[in-house]
């Protein structure tokens, strides 16, 4: 099987869907790149991180549309185009920019179907970069998927690896509801096996990335990789850790989480988001409410602190939940005795 | 350009329907039988109808505002379905889950009234992009109040429409008040002049003159349809009621309130114009008025008698699929 990067997997997904369906268009800042520049309109960038590279060359600038830096107009244009017959991918370059355009996402696109009496179909994919790890500072590094997941009408996708990124992106494009596809900037260069052919991964279906019997870790996006690493480090000891990758934070595959906790009796939730109203708090409360009797220890959360993301690399490293923090929390939870 | 007899009758019927819909709703709202709050379009009928008489049901789209009933009727949304929606009944065009500020009918090219001031223009970009991409020849028209004119979303949409040469008309209705606050206070410079800054044509017309709006709309919509890109129309408009039904309008003088109804009633102006020119006669216009009143009686009676949504409707249509 070919080994490609997370970036290439997302690119391949979009290209394959654009070949298959002429209604798929891509719009956003620099997604073609170089429109109007002195080099004469040749594709210059293909997105700030190169994720849309080559699309404008293959599909033309009518379908890969460079926009002004006006996020409300980009999100609204995507939502309106989806409502009237296209299947747009609208790029919000960095998820942090959602502050200037959230109305078009949560008041408009997310509510069309409900408030228009079930008659609206809004096949909009919002593709956006999330997360820390590049020293990009407080306004380019946030993991805001918990806020998005709290909005009825939106679906939120948080792939942790290249294989999932491709299958979830194809599903997002084909999906008839508004989907926010959160691509983690620290995963763009991650390599993995990805089939050349087109495939989809259903939303709301978590993946078990490590099998174990003594403790369950639930996570999503970049953090899954640290959780896997911690589970592997601890593998030689006399206990085993199960890791569940939610893959989508709306819908959430609660059943897979419950089933695992019923087996292990111990839960650790690892989330790059800040702790209040995070995925970690959501999963914790759902497990406490629904499988309380299976728990042998208090639920633990490993999250970012309740602070902005600092720019200084040494502070950012402290901010990000990492393998050592996860491994320490695993041990503490396992050592707890009723 | 001279309108045909059929066109005149159609325009008058639509304007009268909007007027009576709003006036009846105002009466019913004061009785306390209508939930939520409603924003009445009376006085501005010539603008919605002047635009929408040029638009096709299937390929042209409009975006609307919180004051959207008139836009809906002008674009052909079913009046009884609208009334039932405002009464929050299951027979409403949105099944009672949208209400006055969210009436939408995509089959009629109506992208929705919109409770967020400045919410619709970015969405209207999308309808225009669809028309351009699929080469339908369609045009997209967001209606925008003088209050919304100052929102960033409107500036963004105007710029984007020009950059992508989208088939659009930005229809500004300047009724002099953004909620309770006067446009003379809250809107700097001129709305029409903003068109020039983006390099698109702009014109100002009298909103109480149906024929002026209709002619300006024809030119702008033809231009958009033929690939000439977006333009701006600003209509001076006259809001008969307050910001919402029940607003005592303490911020407007008695003279102004009297003048908007006596000197700027678009329906009176239309009647005077067509009867003086002997294009239509009083009797046929009176007959339309009577038919419209009957329609409103039926719409209100049917809406009040219609069933509420079912309790389980709370949970439906959040998503197409979700598991």
Output the six-digit token pair for A139: 């306004």
User: Chain-wide mean pLDDT for chain B?
Assistant: 97
DSSP state of A161: S
Q: What is the pLDDT of residues A110-156, one digit of tens each?
A: 999 999 999 999 999 999 999 999 999 999 999 999 999 999 999 99
Shared domain check, A136 and A85: yes
Q: What number is the average pLDDT over the span B186-192?
A: 96
Looking at chain B from residue 37 to 66, which residues have their Cβ under 8 Å from any Cβ of chain A?
61, 63
pLDDT at residue number A23: 98
| Residue of A76, A108, A177 lying closest to B320 (CB–CB) | A177
Q: What is the pTM of this model?
A: 0.97
Q: Are residues A257 and A189 in the same domain?
A: no
The answer to the question of residue A131 being in a domain is yes
Chain A residues within 8 A of B105 when measuring between CB atoms? 119
| Residue B1 confidence class, pLDDT cut points 50, 70, 90 | low
Q: Can you list the alpha helix ranges (DSSP code H) found in B233-319?
A: 254-263, 266-276, 282-305
Q: So what's the pLDDT on residue A34?
A: 82
pLDDT in tens, A36-50: 888 866 677 889 999
Structural domain contains residue A158: yes
| Residue with the larger pLDDT of the pair A38 and B289 | B289
Q: CA B183: distance to chain centroid?
A: 19
ipTM score for this prediction: 0.96
Quickly count: other Cβ atoms within 10 Å of residue B100's Cβ: 27
Name residues whose C-beta falls within 8 Å of residue B82's C-beta, 6 or more positions apart in sequence: B21, B69, B72, B73, B92, B93, B103, B299
> What single DSSP character describes residue A255?
H
Domains of chain B: 5-305 (3.40.50.970)
User: Does A228 lie in the same domain as A169?
Assistant: no
Based on the fold, state whether residues A80 and A127 are members of the same structural domain. Answer: yes
pLDDT reported for residue A42: 65
Closest CA–CA distance from residue A315 to any residue of chain B (Å): 36
Same domain, A165 and A276: no
Tell me which residue has tokens 């805001």.
Answer: A144
> Which of B93, B126, B131 shows the shortest C-beta gap to A77?
B126
Rounded Cα gap, residues B260 and B176, in angstroms: 11
Q: What pLDDT score was predicted for residue B117?
A: 97
Based on the fold, state whether residues A247 and A143 are members of the same structural domain.
Answer: no
A264 to A55, A284, A295, B44: CA distances (angstroms) = 46, 15, 8, 67
Instruction: Quote the pLDDT of residue A296.
Output: 97
CATH number of the domain enclosing A229: 3.40.50.920
What average pLDDT does the segment B6-33 reach?
97
pLDDT at position A36 is 87
Nearest residue on chain A to B102, alpha-carbon basis: A115
- Looking at A147, A171, A193, the residue that finishes a domain is A193
| pLDDT at residue B8 tops 70 | yes
Using alpha carbons only, what angle is made at residue B158 by residues B152 and B162, rounded to the nearest 5 degrees?
145
Last residue of a domain, one of A193, A225, A243: A193
Asked if B287 reaches chain A (Cβ–Cβ under 8 Å), the answer is no
Of B105, B115, B126, the CB nearest to A84: B126
B127 in A contact zone (CB under 8 Å): yes
Q: Taking CB atoms and an 8 Å cutoff, what residues of chain B touch A251?
A: 322-323
- pLDDT at position A232 is 97
As for how many domains chain A has, the answer is: 2
User: How distant is the Cα of B184 from the closest Cα of chain A, in angstroms?
Assistant: 27
A25 contact residues in B (CB cutoff 8 A): 129, 133
Same domain, yes or no: A228 and A154: no
- Could you count the other beta carbons within 10 Å of the beta carbon of residue B246? 13
To the nearest whole Å, the CA of B180 is away from the closest chain A CA by 23
Distance CA B218, CA B231 (A): 12
Here the CATH number for the domain that contains residue A125 is: 3.40.50.970
The answer to the question of residue A41 being in a domain is yes
| A302: three-class secondary structure by DSSP | strand
Pairing verdict, β A207-210 and A267-271: unpaired
Of A193, A220, A252, at which residue does a domain stop? A193
Residues A175 and A272 in one domain: no
* pLDDT for residue A102: 98
Establish if A201 belongs to a structural domain: no
B315: nearest CA partner in chain A: A114
Residue written as token pair 């919109």: B114
Q: Under a CB-based contact definition with an 8 Å cutoff, are residues B142 and B124 in contact?
A: yes
Residue A34: domain span: 3-193
Answer yes or no: is pLDDT of A338 > 80.
Answer: no
Give the pLDDT score at A172. 98
Residue A165: inside a domain: yes
Instruction: Classify residue A321: in a domain, yes or no.
Output: yes
Res B115: pLDDT:
96
Residues pairing with B140 in the sheet: B61, B168
Flag the least confident range among A36-45, A185-194, B72-81, B209-218: A36-45
Average predicted confidence (pLDDT) for chain A:
96
The full length of chain A comes to: 338
Closest-CA residue of chain B to A62: B133
Q: How confident is the model over A289-323, as pLDDT tens digits? A: 999 999 999 999 999 999 999 999 999 999 999 99
Same domain, A137 and A263: no
In a domain, A198, yes or no: no
Has residue A199 been placed in a domain? no
Query: Which ranges in chain A belong to alpha helices (H)?
Result: 6-20, 55-59, 71-83, 102, 112-115, 145-149, 162-174, 223-233, 254-264, 279-290, 313-319, 323-335
- B160 and A CB contact within 8 Å: yes
Sheet of B140-145, strand order: B61-63, B140-145, B169-174, B231-236, B202-206
Q: Is A140 a catalytic residue?
A: yes
A116/B318 Cβ within 8 A: no
Tell me how far apart the alpha carbons of residues B309 and B94 are, in angstroms, rounded to a whole number: 11
Of A7, A140, A266, A300, catalytic: A140
| Whether A278 and A184 share a structural domain | no
Same-domain pairing of A179 and A211: no
Residues A220 and A243 in one domain: yes
């Amino acid at each position: 099987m070919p080994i490609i990067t997370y970036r290439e997997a997302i690119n391949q997904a979009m290209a394959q869907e654009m070949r298959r369906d002429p209604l798929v268009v891509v719009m956003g800042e620099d997604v073609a790149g170089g429109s109007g520049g002195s080099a004469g309109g040749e594709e210059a960038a293909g997105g700030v991180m190169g994720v849309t590279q080559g699309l404008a060359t293959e599909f033309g600038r009518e379908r890969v549309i460079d926009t002004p830096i006006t996020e409300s107009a980009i999100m609204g244009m995507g939502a309106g185009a989806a409502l009237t017959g296209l299947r747009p991918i609208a790029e919000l370059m960095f998820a942090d920019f959602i502050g200037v355009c959230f109305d078009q996402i949560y008041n408009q696109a997310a509510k069309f179907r409900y408030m228009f009496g079930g008659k609206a179909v809004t096949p909009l994919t919002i593709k956006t970069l999330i997360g820390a790890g590049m020293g990009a500072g407080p306004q380019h590094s946030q993991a805001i998927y918990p806020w998005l997941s709290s909005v009825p009408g939106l679906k939120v996708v948080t792939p942790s690896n290249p294989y999932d990124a491709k299958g979830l992106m194809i599903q997002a494009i084909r999906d008839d509801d508004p989907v926010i596809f959160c691509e983690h900037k620290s995963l763009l260069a991650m390599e993995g096996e990805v089939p050349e052919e087109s495939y989809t991964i259903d939303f709301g279906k978590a993946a078990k990335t490590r099998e174990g019997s003594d403790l369950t870790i639930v996570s999503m996006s970049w953090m899954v990789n640290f959780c896997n690493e911690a589970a592997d480090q601890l593998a030689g000891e006399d206990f085993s850790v199960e890791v569940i990758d939610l893959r989508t934070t709306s819908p959430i595959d609660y059943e897979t989480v419950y089933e695992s906790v019923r087996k292990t009796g111990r839960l650790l939730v690892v989330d790059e988001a800040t702790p209040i109203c995070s995925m970690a708090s959501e999963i914790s409360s759902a497990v406490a409410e629904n499988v309380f009797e299976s728990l042998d220890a208090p639920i633990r959360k490993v999250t970012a602190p309740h602070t902005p993301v600092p720019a200084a690399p040494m502070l950012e490293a402290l901010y990000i939940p990492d393998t050592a923090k996860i491994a320490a929390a695993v041990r503490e939870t396992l050592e707890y005795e009723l | 350009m001279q309108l045909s007899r059929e066109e005149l009758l159609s325009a008058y019927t639509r304007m009268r329907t909007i007027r009576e819909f709003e006036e009846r709703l105002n009466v019913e709202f004061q009785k306390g039988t209508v939930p939520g709050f409603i924003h009445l379009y009376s006085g501005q009928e010539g603008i919605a109808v002047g635009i929408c008489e040029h638009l096709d049901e299937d390929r042209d789209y409009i975006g609307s505002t919180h004051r959207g009933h008139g836009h809906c009727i002008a674009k052909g949304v079913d009046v009884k379905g609208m009334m039932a929606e405002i009464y929050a009944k299951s027979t409403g065009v949105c099944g009672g889950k949208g209400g006055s500020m969210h009436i939408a009918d995509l089959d009629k090219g109506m992208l929705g009234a919109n409770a967020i001031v400045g919410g619709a223009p970015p969405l209207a970009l999308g309808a225009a992009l669809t028309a351009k991409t699929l080469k339908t020849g369609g045009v997209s028209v967001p209606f925008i109040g003088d209050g919304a004119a100052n929102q960033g979303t409107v500036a963004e949409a105007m710029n984007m429409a020009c950059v992508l040469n989208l088939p659009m008309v930005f229809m500004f209705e300047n009724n002099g008040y953004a909620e309770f606050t006067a446009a003379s206070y809250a809107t700097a410079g001129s709305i029409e002049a903003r068109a020039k800054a983006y390099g698109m044509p702009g014109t100002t017309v009298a909103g109480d003159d149906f024929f002026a709006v209709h002619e300006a709309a024809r030119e702008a919509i033809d231009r958009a349809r033929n690939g000439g890109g977006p333009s701006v129309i600003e209509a001076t408009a006259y809001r008969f009621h307050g910001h919402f039904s029940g607003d005592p309008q303490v911020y407007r003088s008695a003279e102004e309130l009297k003048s908007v109804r006596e000197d700027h009633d678009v329906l009176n102006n239309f009647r005077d114009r067509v009867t003086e020119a002997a294009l239509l006669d009083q009797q046929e216009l009176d007959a339309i008025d009577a038919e419209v009143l009957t329609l409103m009686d039926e719409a209100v009676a049917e809406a009040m008698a219609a069933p509420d949504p079912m309790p389980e409707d709370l949970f439906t249509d959040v998503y197409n699929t979700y598991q």
